């Protein structure tokens, strides 16, 4: 099994205040970590943190777009996502649109709160959602067996 990892970290920090009354410089805080690996010809994007408005949602889209430019089968691992707002949901819907345009088979592995959010927003009717990454990867193998 080919396991090539690429780690992309987005760090957001507050700048030190100049005038009195501003908070002192705060330590860098990691908001979203995106790691990609190749698992048997399927690129898995492991998402850890928050996919929310602004920098995190933009970074999510950038990385997913780059992956889809190179791969035909992609799994988004959302099991490590602790928060997703309307911007995150919008970026996930946009990723599905890109996948269709580029003929990429896109699936998600999501459980818990994120899975429930995808159900409540009815996004699970647009994006193929599995209970885990392994289940999503297994569905690719099942499709290959049926195609043979």
**pLDDT tens sequence across 36-81:** 999 999 999 999 999 999 899 999 999 999 999 999 999 999 999 9
Query: CA-CA distance, 45 to 67, in Å (whole number)?
Result: 8
Q: How confident is the model at residue 5 (pLDDT cuts 50, 70, 90)?
A: low
**pLDDT tens sequence across 75-107:** 999 999 999 999 999 999 999 999 999 999 999
Query: CA-CA distance, 85 to 89, in Å (whole number)?
Result: 6
The pTM of the full predicted model, rounded to 2 decimals, is 0.78
Give the model's pLDDT for residue 141: 84
Q: Is the CB of residue 131 less than 8 Å from the CB of residue 109? A: yes
Which domains can be identified in the chain, with CATH numbers?
33-147 (3.30.750.24)
């Amino acid at each position: 099994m080919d396991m090539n990892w690429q780690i992309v970290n987005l760090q957001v920090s507050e700048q030190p205040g100049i005038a009195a009354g501003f908070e002192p410089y705060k330590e860098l805080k990691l908001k979203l970590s995106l790691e990609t690996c190749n698992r048997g010809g399927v690129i898995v994007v492991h998402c850890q943190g928050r996919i929310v408005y602004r920098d995190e949602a933009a970074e999510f889209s950038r990385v997913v777009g780059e992956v889809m430019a190179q791969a035909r089968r992609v799994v988004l691992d959302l099991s490590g996502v602790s928060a997703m707002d309307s911007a995150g949901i919008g970026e996930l819907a946009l990723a599905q649109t890109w996948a269709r345009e580029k003929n990429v088979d896109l699936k998600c592995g999501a459980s818990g709160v994120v899975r429930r959010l995808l159900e409540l927003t009815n996004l699970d009717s647009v994006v193929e959602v599995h209970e885990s990454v392994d289940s999503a990867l297994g569905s690719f193998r099942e499709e290959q067996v049926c195609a043979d």
